[in-house]
Amino acid sequence: MSDDRAGAGFWHGAFAGFCGFIVLLQIGLASQLGDLASMYRDFGKVALPLATRITIHPAWMWGTPLFGAAAVAALLVRRPRSIAFYVVVAVLLVAILGLTFWYPRAPIYALAGNISAD
* DSSP sequence for 53-110: HHHTSHHHHHHHHHHHHHHHHHHHHH--S-HHHHHHHHHHHHHHHHHHHHGGGHHHHH
- Which residues form the domain of 45? 3-112
Across the chain, mean pLDDT equals: 86
- For 30-68, how does the pLDDT look when each residue is reduced to its tens digit (9 = 90+)? 999 888 888 888 877 878 889 888 999 999 999 999 999
Quick one: pLDDT at residue 116?
65
Q: Which H/E stretch holds residue 27? A: helix 3-33
Tell whether 117 is covered by a domain: no
Q: Please tell me the total count of domains within the chain.
A: 1
Q: What percent of the chain has pLDDT over 90?
A: 47
Q: How many residues does the chain have?
A: 118
Q: How far apart are CA 101 and CA 105, in angstroms?
A: 7
Quick one: pLDDT at residue 42?
83
Distance of CA 91 to the CA centre of its chain: 10
Tell whether 118 is covered by a domain: no
Residue 97, CA atoms < 13 Å, CB-side half-sphere: 19
Tell whether 60 is covered by a domain: yes
Global confidence as pTM: 0.81
